[in-house]
Structure 1
Amino acid sequence: MNVSLDDQLSWFEKSKHSLCHNGYGDSDCFGKSLFIVGEFGANDYSSILYSNMTLEEATAYVPKIVDTIANGVEKNVDYDVHGCHKGVNMLSQQHNSLLHERVARIRSGHPYTRIIAAQHYRPIISFLQNPDHFGFNGDETLMACCGAGGRYNVDLMRLCGQPGTAACVDPASTVQWDGSHLTEAAYRRIAVGWLHGPYADPPILHAALG
């Protein structure tokens, strides 16, 4: 029986996008949902006992089965309400925090040089948190405009521009272009934030006029 917990979680991940937009009226249905993980383990023990193993032999599998269940639960909480991996986001935040400190030190050593720290992570997070404000479709913030299907419309074997791929009807309403690059609309909003704020410290035009 190839229906392990990993298989079931994989199926769940693939169906989340359609489930979250099925009559709930918003894209945060998982943040408002109750998740029941169970009765995982019953089939494992049944299979063991039906194979004529003793209870003592079955007991040896308990730690592995419990670990598998616990790891499966953690897989469901590794992603935030926007579908982003929490660990990867934390890595980006730590990088940006340390880089900000280093830029401040460089500035203090070069007081007559204008050094601007432009942010890329922060505007993208803003697009995901408040897509309507930026003119993006909130139902497809993680979907690539150009691709070949799948959960995020990204197939590493058929990248945008290759046979079998196609672009969406309205790229200006999307954030992601091909899974690796943003759309022109997203880059334009980032550029505006760099020029006028708040995504650059100081904003480029303020530094130029100062």
Structure 2
Amino acid sequence: METSPECFRVLGTSTTRFGLPLIPPFLQDNGNNNMVTFKQGVNYAVAGATALDRSVLEPRGIVNPMTNASLGVQLAWFKQALPSICGNDSNCRDFIGRSLILVGEIGGNDYNYPILWGKSVEEVESLVPLVINIIISAINELIEMGAKTLVVPGNFPVGCSASYLTVCGSENEEYDPKTGCLVRLNQFAEYHNKLLQTKLKQVRDLHPDVNIFYADYYNAAMEIYLLPYKYCKET
């Protein structure tokens, strides 16, 4: 999750094209105090994080070996940091209202761990509504805090990733003839994205004064897989 008081500054690596600084991480090496004050935006994301908390995943036999910083933990960090960034409740509500909040991309790791460790896609499908609900819950909480502009990315075409192709590929799998991607896993990613978009529409209907943008990571990435030579630099 990322936030910034000036919307274009939340774009992460893309900000360098505008001569703007990268969004710094909330937790960073700063001596004995890892919490710092951020005035140009802050990134609460953690590599390997899941949307669902370990209390939901572990009873289902899913262990995150990298971090316990789920989406709920990241949202708690955001709330914890607010007073040092914007002061009192009124100022913070105004600050959040002027910020662009990027919620994700998150949820992919909730599926990556079990699938790459041998669970079937059919088993993991039951997690999708839980993942979507926790994302929507975070969005609703941010709106209650004053958020007016949010970007919510979808999942990538995971059937095209090298790790999935290596672990899940077999003679019994169907491959897309145009891309070589695993059809079944990309359909799974599309299922996540369709459910997410359906839920986002419901939030928009309830909050017509809030701008909620769906970031279509799936088709943006698929463009590269369909036309790889278009994006290769000549050597």
TM-score (structure 1 length as normaliser):
0.34
Query: Which is bigger in relative contact order (C-alpha 8 A, separation at least 6)?
Result: 2
TM-score (structure 2 length as normaliser):
0.30
